[in-house]
A and B are shown apart, each in its own frame.
Chain A
């Protein structure tokens, strides 16, 4: 499985005590050089550098065709006031995820909204850290025996990053984990 990470995701995830598990979940995590340039905090730079050195994080070879796709997407959605934070680097990640068939790792609310309705880009699977934690469980990378165990890991993430999840997202993910545990 391939992933594509944006800056907000990496900045937050780099603070998480279990951050090293991310590389075990993906065959490779792709990153655009403009996203890499956004990382300035020591924790995010340190984390990304180590992943790059191990080959777990790889620079994506951006093409002219993808630039055209980005421009079209930007023109379609970027000025809609109901969709916040649609900055170029995060939209580039969405284009990469679409082209590479990768899961998009993002904490950008605007991007998460675009994949909810866009006729082309709704094919992209977008995960916040919560869905990454969920898939760490399914992959046996984070051992949980109950929903409470899973919520304990989510609490660790929230504590380390000052990042919380919407009640809707929590309900949906907890329900899926509950179903998985019951199998």
Chain B
């Protein structure tokens, strides 16, 4: 098995700041009324997406494909950020 390749600490610090910026943008853009109206699994997936920005994780929680989750993300008004 290959050894781990670790990012330098200064890059990790930069990512942490970026993660906070992205999380705040997702929170602000979300249609919270739409999210509250969803069935529990979808609601949880949208909340997980807002917190992590991970489309794969959110799609798995919702039990849908990546593309289907993205349709939900757009309906919920949550921006994707890169």
Contact = CB atoms under 8 A, between A and B. Distances in A.
Contacts of A40: 65-68
Nearest to B65: A40
A107 B80 contact: yes
A75 interface: yes
A12 B79 CA distance: 11
A168 B82 CA distance: 10
A162 B77 CA distance: 7
Contact of B54 (A80, A84, A130): A84
A156 B4 CA distance: 40
B5 A77 contact: yes
A85 B4 contact: no
Contacts, number: 100
Contact of B82 (A118, A162, A169): A169
Interface residues of B, dominant DSSP: helix
Interface residues of A, number: 42
A85 B21 contact: no
Nearest to A90: B56
Interface in A94-137: 107, 109, 112-113, 116-119, 128-130
Given A117-B5, A167-B21, A7 B66 contact: yes
Contacts of B1: 75
Contacts of A107: 80, 82
Nearest to B12: A82
6 closest A-B pairs by beta carbon, nearest first, are A41-B67, A40-B67, A75-B2, A76-B5, A40-B65, A117-B7
Interface of B: 1-8, 11-12, 15-16, 18, 21-22, 25, 29, 52-57, 65-68, 70-71, 73-74, 77-82
Interface of A: 7-8, 11-12, 38-41, 44, 72-73, 75-77, 79-80, 82-85, 87, 107, 109, 112-113, 116-119, 128-130, 158, 161-169
